[in-house]
Amino acid sequence: MTVKAIVKTSAGALALVAGLMSFAANAKVGADEAAKLKSTLMPLGGEKAANADGSIPAWSGGLTKGGGGAGKRYTDPFEADKPKFTISKDNLAQYKDKLTPGQLALFAKYATYKMPVYETRRTGVAPAYIYDATFKNATTGELTGGGNGISGAVTGIPFPIPKNGAEVIWNHKLRYRSLGIRRWNNQFALTTQGSYNLVKIKEDALFSYSKQGITPESLNNIAVYFLQITTEPARLAGGILLVHDTLDQVKEPRRAFIYNPGQRRLRRAPNVAYDNPGTASDGLRTNDQLDMFNGALDRYDWKLVGKKDMYVPYNSYKLHSDKYKYKDIVTPKHTNQDLTRYELHRVWVVDSTVKKGTNHIYSRRTYYVDEDTWQISVVDVFDQRGQMWRVQEAHPYIAHDVGAIFSAMESTYDLQSARYLLNSLNNEDEETKVIPLETSYFDPANVTKLASK
């Protein structure tokens, strides 16, 4: 089956799931609907109940215990699980209704591609104060500026009962990932022959939006502070990216700065956005593809297609294990799929198309967003001809001790060049740490001092 045929077939199936929901300016829901967050819906907005045949179980509180944490490697609480079955090109027809067009295209492209499917474990969880804030946001949160900003929401998920596609994407952007974290984001750009150079990137992030007790006013319009320092290879070492991501992007676009060791100064970098190439990605991802999607929404029209049961990466503890070296994961053509874990979960489907009068190298992107955590699980990416171009997958795990979702790996497959990009791996490096960070740490003057040391 051709990629074009795959897209057409899957799009038709989605049309049966739900009709398109148009953009709604007023995102708030009434008190009666918000009350579902304390009954039939989990506190972040996902459906508590199992699906019709029980293949997706009821949510029972998420993962609150496990091995590791507090800076130690998170271990697999489901290590004894074995795959229920493995999807391959030989049995693909049996499961294609629960796969995205992009996932189907990967099977069509690579004869050795496979997806081990495990028992569904609904591990999504967050702290109680995030639940409380989410409940409050349901009746107060609103989109502003045509969906390019939000107001009346803080700390929790802004739109736990979404009415349009932009709300779902904002939920992903503002999902709970703890407060301050430090991680290694190792990146690999594979050639068609399977060779690669490791790019080591150290990152600090402060998710100020998620702070307990904070008010929208005290945020000063900054939702996330982000500092990225490249340490290897030598030709890139010392390069720094600093980003202040805004909450109301109509009021003020994101502030971005770049430090070049050769120039020895930090300068504004308005091009760190949209479809400009991502850091050291060899052109295999754009800036707004890091973390599956980040930045402004204003170049796309967003449509909420509906909800669907789909096989998506989940509970990726094996992939995150320090038992494996990077060479065990980063293999020719595609990753070592034996180390991945897929489960059946309900996802929101959001389709985005470039707005008239603006531009982006991607004419269309379809997002599949986990209802329990608001993590974007899979993205199908289309070129200007409407052909499938790239496929993104996020392989997350739950940090049980802080009730947050972290990333073991993000993959971006380029179907046209037969190359792929991996990032967020840290198997041979320190575990992601939750650390106290202040906004002053991300001040451009302080970052300049850090760069000169």
249 C-beta neighbours (distance < 10 Å), count: 21
Pair of tokens at residue 66:
């496990």
DSSP 8-state code for residue 72? B
Report pLDDT for 27: 61
403 with 395: CB under 8 angstroms?
no
Report pLDDT for 249: 81
> CB-based burial of residue 23 (10 Å sphere; 0-12 exposed, 13-18 middle, 19+ buried)?
middle
Q: How many CA atoms lie within 13 A of 46 on its CB side?
A: 29
Amino acid type, 42: M
Q: At what angle do helices 3-17 and 101-109 cross, to 10 degrees?
A: 150
Provide the b/e sequence for 411-447 (b: ≥16 CB within 10 Å).
bbbbbeeebbbbbbbbbeeebbebeebeeeebeeeeb
User: In whole angstroms, what is the distance from residue 449 CA to residue 446 CA?
Assistant: 5
Count structural domains, the chain.
1
The helix/strand/coil state of 293 is: coil
Residue found by looking up tokens 């629960």 in the block: 98
Report pLDDT for 452: 77
Determine the structural domain holding residue 270 and report its residue range: 3-452
Report pLDDT for 98: 98
User: In whole angstroms, what is the distance from residue 112 CA to residue 197 CA?
Assistant: 24
63 with 123: CB under 8 angstroms?
yes
Cα distances (angstroms) measured from residue 117 to each of 328, 345, 350, 399: 20, 11, 24, 22
DSSP 8-state code for residue 140? T
Domain at 79, CATH number: 2.50.20.10
Report pLDDT for 26: 55
Q: What is the pLDDT along the chain (453 residues), one digit of tens a residue?
A: 454 544 444 444 443 343 334 344 456 899 999 999 999 999 999 999 999 999 999 999 999 999 999 889 999 999 999 999 999 999 999 999 999 999 999 999 999 999 999 999 999 999 999 999 999 999 999 999 999 999 999 999 999 999 999 999 999 999 999 999 999 999 999 999 999 999 999 999 999 999 999 999 999 999 999 999 999 999 999 999 999 999 988 789 999 999 999 888 999 999 999 999 999 999 999 999 999 999 999 999 999 999 999 999 999 999 999 999 999 999 999 999 999 999 999 999 999 999 999 999 999 999 999 999 999 999 999 999 999 999 999 999 999 999 999 999 999 999 999 999 999 999 999 999 999 999 999 999 999 998 877
Pair of tokens at residue 312:
């998506």
Q: How many CA atoms lie within 13 A of 258 on its CB side?
A: 12
Contacts made by residues 79-86, CB under 8 angstroms, sequence distance 24+: 79/317, 79/318, 81/118, 81/119, 82/118, 83/116, 83/117, 83/118, 84/117, 84/118, 84/119, 85/117, 86/114, 86/115, 86/116, 86/117
DSSP-assigned beta bridge partners for residue 309: 346
